[in-house]
Chain A
Amino acid sequence: MSILNIQKDHSRFRQIVRGKIKQNLKKFISKGELMGRKGKDTVSVPVPQIEIPRFRFGSQQQGGVGQGEGDPGDPLDQGEPGEGEPGKAGKDAGEHGVEVDVSLDELAEILGEELELPRILPRGLDKIQDTRDRYIGIRSAGPESLRHFRRTFKQALLRQISSGIYDPKNPIIIPVRDDKRYRSWKTEARPHSNAVIIYMMDVSGSMGDEQKEIVRIESFWIDTWLRSQYDGIESRYIIHDAAAREVDRDTFFHTRESGGTMISSAYKLCADLIDESYPVTEWNIYPFHFSDGDNWSVDDTLECMQLMKNRLLPKSNMFCYGQVESPYGSGQFIKDLREHFGGNDAVVTSEIKNKDGIVASIKEFLGKGR
C-alpha cells in the first residue's frame, strides 16, 4: 500500500516539473537553453523555483572544515564543499532551481502538448531488429579490456591472505590468472521503425552566426520530436554554397563559405543520398532545407523545382523549407516555392524572422502530422 504512496508523490512531483517546463518551454526554445544539456536519452532541464526556500547562509562566505593532505593556500580540487548535504548551499544555491532529468520522449511529449502537434503515423512499419549490449555480470574468463580491477584485486588479496603470503608491511598484491574477474554482457534485440532527417543549409556568406544559431535550435527540436515518433532516427547533413557536400553535424553548424549560392546542388545531393541509402519502403524521409532565400539564378531555381517534383517529393514524408531572415538575403526563394507548390501538403514553408519566431516555425513544420 505504501508503495503506492511514493508513486503518487513521485508522479505529483513529475507533474509539477512538467508544468514548470511547459510554462517555460517557449523561453527554453527561443534561448536555445536545453541544447547543451542533452545526454544520450535525457535532457537536464533547469527547473526554476521548485526547491522549498529557506532562510540560509550565502555559501561563499561560509567555508568549512575538511580532511586530508595539503597546505594553506592549496585549492580544494575535489569534492565541492557541501555538495548534496542538506541545509548547506550547493553550487546552484543562488539560482534556486533544480536540474531535473527529463527523457527526450517526455520532452517531446511536452513540446507536442504545448504546440498541439499531431502524432505521426509512421509508414512502412518494418520489423528491423536493433541489438544492444548490456554489461550486467561478472565472470572469471574474458578479454583483458573488460577486466574488473577491483574484483580482481580483492580476489588476489583474499588468496594471498589465506595462503599466508600477504605481508601487511609490504602490501603488494599480484593477481594470478585465477584471480582475474571480467565483466560479462548480454545482447538484447528490439524491433524498429526508422526515419531519416536530411538537413540542408546554405552556408554562403550571407548566412551569419545568428541565422545558423536559429537553424541549430530548430534542428534540435525537430530531432527531439521526430525521435519520439520513431524508434530509430538518423540525421544527415548537407551544406552548400555554389556546390554541395555532405558533412558531420559539427561542421554543419560551424562552416562559413563565401561563394555564391546554387540550391539545386544540395537538392541533387539529397536525392542521390536517398536513392543510395534509404529505400522508401523502409524509411520515413524528412528533408529540411534552411537558407536566407537567395539563389544564384532563376534557372537554378527552376531546376530546384524540377528536382523536388521528380525526385524528392515522391519519396519524402514531407519537404520543409525554412527561410531565416538575413540583412543580405533577398528572400525570393520562399516565394518561388509557394508559387510552385502552394496547396501541396507535403511542402511546408516557414519564415523565421528571429529567435522568437522559432516556436511558431516549429509548429508550422511539425503541425502537419506527416
Chain B
Amino acid sequence: MKMLTLPPYLSDIQRDIEAHAKKYGLEFFDTIFEMVDYQRMNEVASYGGFPVRYPHWRFGMEYERMSKSFSYGLHKIYELVINNDPCYAYLLEGNSTTEQKMVMAHVYGHCDFFKNNLWFSPTNRKMVDQMANHGARVRRYIDKVGIDEVETFLDVCLSLENLIDRHSPYIRRPDPTPEPEDLDIPVEVPRLTASRGYLERYINPEEVLAKEKERLETQRKTQDRKFPKEPMLDVVTFLARNAPLKKWQEDVLNMVISEAYYFAPQGMTKIMNEGWASYWHSTIMTQDALTDAEIVDFAETHSATMAVSPGGINPYKIGIELFRDIEDRWDRGRFGKEYDDCEDLDEKLHWNRRLGHGRDKIFEVRRIHNDVTFLDEFLTPEFCWRQKLFTFEYNKKRQGFEIFSRDFRSIKQKLLGQLTNFGQPFIFAENANFKNRGELLLLHRHDGVDLDQKWGRETLLNVFRIWSRPVHVRTQIEGKPRLWTHDGKEFSDSPGE
C-alpha cells in the first residue's frame, strides 16, 4: 500500500505520542499514519480498512451509506486502524491538531491490543498482502467467467460468512470427515467366545452366523449414514469441503471464510479493544500530551466519543469504565473473599489495601480476555449501578421497547447473551445425508431467541445454491420445533419432529 508521509508538524506529534505510549509499556508493530480526506476515509472504511480488496457492490453500498451520513453530519470517522504488521492508520484531513493527537494516542492503544491480545494471535499479520492477493484472484475469475457469475456467487458466500466457528482457531476440533466406509469390505459378524474349542459350533452355529451377516449387510445398505459425525459449527468450511463446487468457486468461498476469520477477533473484542484504546488516549492526553489551550477541545471530542444512549451500550464507554474500575479495584484491593464478605457498605466504599496492582492487572486483562470473559469476570453490581445500566424488552402492547430491569443478574445475562457467538445464532451442520438422500440438515441451537423467518428463507436458498440438493434447518418458533426447507424452488415451514 502506498503511503504518503505526514506533514512535518504531525510527524513530530507522532514521535511524541509514540514515545509516551512506549513509556507506559504499550508495545506495538510499527505504525504508519496516512492523512486522507473524508472521501478517501469513507472509501477505506467501506472496504473494512482494505482498499485493495476484491470488487463487490456491497462496498459501494456501504460507501454510499457512509458518505450520506457524513454529509448529513451524522457521523464522522475519526480514525481507522488496520491489524497488520506494520499497522496502518488513517487520519482525517481537516481535524484539529488536538483531535489528531487524540486519534494517534487512541491508535497506539489499538495497535498494542492487536499485537498482544491472545485472541488476535492467529490472525494473519500480512493481511494487506493477502487481501490484495484475494482481490487479484477474484478479478482473474471475473475475467474468466464473467462479472455476473462471480458476483452472484460472492453474494451467496457473503450470505453465509457468519456461519463460522469463532473458537476453532484456538482449539483442535475432531476431524469431521467421515472414515471411508468401503462397501466392498465384508461385514464382520461378531462371535461369542467359546471357552472350549469343541463348543464353538454350538455357541456360534453356522446358520445363525449367516443370518446375522445377512441382517448386518441389509442394515448397512439401508441405514442413514450420518455425516458429519459430530454437528459442525463451522458450516461454511463444511460446505467448502463437501459441496459440489467448481475450482474457482471453492477458492472464492475459502477466501471469504479466511477473511471472516481474520475479522472475527475484532468482533469478539469490540468493547475491550475500544475501551483499551480510549483508556490510553485519555491517559496519554491528560497526563502528557495536552497543552492548556487544547483542553476544552479535547474534552468536547472525548465526551462525544463516550456518549451513552438508552437504546444500547457504547463499547467505548463501557470498555474504558470497566478498565478503570479494574485498575481501581486492584489498586485498592477491592476484590477477593475478604472484600466480598464485607457487609459494611461504607467500609467497602473506602476500602483501600494499597496494593497498587491496577496497571499490571489491566495489562494482564488486555492479554488474555475477550469481551465475553471480560464482562463475565469483571462486571460487578456496583459497576452496573454506577453506569446506570438496564435491560430493555419489547412490549407488544405498547409496540415499543421499554426498560425492563436494573437487576445485576439479568443485565449480565443479557449482555453475555448478546455477545456470545458475536450476537449470531448458533447454527450447525448436522447431517449431510439427511433422509438418506444427500440433503443437508442444519441445526439451530435455540438459546431463547427465534430466528427471523424472512431472512432465514433467503439465506436457506443461498445454502441450497451451494449444496445444490434440498436443504433444511431445524429450529424453534415460539417454543415449537419447526423444520424449514428449501429445495431451490420453494420454501416450506413444517412442524419439526
Do A56 and B422 touch (CB < 8 A)? Answer: no
Q: How far apart sit A80 and B317, CA to CA, in the bound complex (Å)?
A: 19
Q: How far apart sit A157 and B296, CA to CA, in the bound complex (Å)?
A: 8
Distance of B247 from chain A, by nearest CB (Å): 24
**B314: A residues at CB distance < 8 A:** 67
Q: A6-B60, A10-B60 are in contact. Are A54 and B459 (CB under 8 A)?
A: yes
**A2: B residues at CB distance < 8 A:** 43, 51-52
A1-51: which residues lie under 8 A (CB-CB) from chain B?
2-3, 5-6, 8-14, 16, 49-50
Do B163 and A68 touch (CB < 8 A)? Answer: no
Give the interface centre of A10, A16, A88, A154 by most chain B CB atoms within 10 Å: A10
Chain B residue nearest in CB terms to A81: B311
Q: How far apart sit A136 and B311, CA to CA, in the bound complex (Å)?
A: 33
Q: How far apart sit A76 and B394, CA to CA, in the bound complex (Å)?
A: 10
B414 lies within 8 A of chain A by Cβ: yes
Do A76 and B389 touch (CB < 8 A)? Answer: no
Which of B51, B300, B458 meets A96, CB within 8 Å? B458
B286 lies within 8 A of chain A by Cβ: no
**A327: B residues at CB distance < 8 A:** none
Do A12 and B57 touch (CB < 8 A)? Answer: yes
Do A70 and B415 touch (CB < 8 A)? Answer: no
A299 lies within 8 A of chain B by Cβ: no
Which of B51, B162, B308, B422 meets A67, CB within 8 Å? B308
Contacts A/B (CB < 8 Å), 10 sampled: A9-B59, A58-B451, A66-B311, A67-B318, A68-B308, A72-B402, A73-B402, A76-B400, A87-B422, A95-B454
Q: How far apart sit A270 and B424, CA to CA, in the bound complex (Å)?
A: 63
Which of B292, B311, B390 meets A80, CB within 8 Å? B311
A82 lies within 8 A of chain B by Cβ: yes
Comparing B207-215, B223-231, B352-360, B403-411, the segment that makes contact with chain A is B403-411
A71 lies within 8 A of chain B by Cβ: yes
Chain A interface (Cβ < 8 Å from any Cβ of B)? 2-3, 5-6, 8-14, 16, 49-50, 52-83, 85, 87-89, 93-96, 98, 100-101, 154, 157-158, 161-162
B297-323: which residues lie under 8 A (CB-CB) from chain A?
300, 308-314, 317-318
Do B57 and A65 touch (CB < 8 A)? Answer: no
**B390: A residues at CB distance < 8 A:** 65-68, 70, 72
B398 lies within 8 A of chain A by Cβ: yes
Q: A65-B391, A66-B392 are in contact. Are A83 and B311 (CB under 8 A)?
A: yes
Which of B387, B396, B404 meets A63, CB within 8 Å? B404
Chain A residue nearest in CB terms to B394: A60
Do A72 and B405 touch (CB < 8 A)? Answer: yes
**A87: B residues at CB distance < 8 A:** 162, 267, 422-424
Q: A55-B427, A56-B425 are in contact. Are A9 and B451 (CB under 8 A)?
A: no
Interface size of B in residues (CB-CB distance below 8 Å): 77
Q: How far apart sit A14 and B313, CA to CA, in the bound complex (Å)?
A: 33
B58 lies within 8 A of chain A by Cβ: yes
The 7 nearest A-B residue pairs measured at CB: A79-B311, A13-B60, A53-B458, A9-B60, A10-B60, A2-B51, A79-B309
Chain B residue nearest in CB terms to A94: B454
Do B159 and A52 touch (CB < 8 A)? Answer: yes
**A70: B residues at CB distance < 8 A:** 310, 390, 403
Comparing B20-28, B61-69, B104-112, B330-338, the segment that makes contact with chain A is B61-69
Which of B267, B312, B414, B452 meets A79, CB within 8 Å? B312
Do A66 and B418 touch (CB < 8 A)? Answer: no
Which of A8, A56, A82 meets B452, CB within 8 Å? A56
Which of B56, B59, B63, B392 meets A76, CB within 8 Å? B392
Q: How far apart sit A83 and B65, CA to CA, in the bound complex (Å)?
A: 13
Chain B residue nearest in CB terms to A100: B64
Do A56 and B400 touch (CB < 8 A)? Answer: no
Which of A64, A68, A74 meets B418, CB within 8 Å? A64
Distance of B428 from chain A, by nearest CB (Å): 12
Distance of B163 from chain A, by nearest CB (Å): 7
Give the interface centre of A62, A66, A96, A101 by most chain B CB atoms within 10 Å: A66
Q: A63-B394, A87-B423 are in contact. Are A81 and B312 (CB under 8 A)?
A: yes
Q: A9-B56, A50-B61 are in contact. Are A59 and B312 (CB under 8 A)?
A: no
Q: How far apart sit A71 and B310, CA to CA, in the bound complex (Å)?
A: 12
Q: How far apart sit A95 and B391, CA to CA, in the bound complex (Å)?
A: 26
Chain A residue nearest in CB terms to B407: A72
Q: A55-B451, A70-B310 are in contact. Are A75 and B401 (CB under 8 A)?
A: yes
**What 1/0 flags go to B177-197 for Cβ under 8 Å of A?**
000000000000000000000
Q: How far apart sit A141 and B398, CA to CA, in the bound complex (Å)?
A: 49
Q: How far apart sit A62 and B403, CA to CA, in the bound complex (Å)?
A: 13
Distance of B236 from chain A, by nearest CB (Å): 12
B455 lies within 8 A of chain A by Cβ: yes
Which of B59, B393, B400, B444 meets A6, CB within 8 Å? B59
Chain B residue nearest in CB terms to A95: B454
**B473: A residues at CB distance < 8 A:** 55
**A62: B residues at CB distance < 8 A:** 394, 418, 449
Give the interface centre of A53, A59, A82, A158 by most chain B CB atoms within 10 Å: A53
Give the interface centre of B392, B404, B424 by most chain A CB atoms within 10 Å: B392
Give the interface centre of B47, B56, B309, B422 by most chain A CB atoms within 10 Å: B309
Do A13 and B58 touch (CB < 8 A)? Answer: yes
Do A57 and B312 touch (CB < 8 A)? Answer: no
B457-477: which residues lie under 8 A (CB-CB) from chain A?
458-459, 462, 473
Do A81 and B392 touch (CB < 8 A)? Answer: yes
B83 lies within 8 A of chain A by Cβ: no
Distance of B26 from chain A, by nearest CB (Å): 28
Chain B residue nearest in CB terms to A49: B458
Chain B residue nearest in CB terms to A93: B452
Q: How far apart sit A80 and B394, CA to CA, in the bound complex (Å)?
A: 11
**B398: A residues at CB distance < 8 A:** 75
B456 lies within 8 A of chain A by Cβ: yes
Q: A65-B415, A157-B296 are in contact. Are A52 and B158 (CB under 8 A)?
A: yes
**B452: A residues at CB distance < 8 A:** 56-59, 89, 93-94
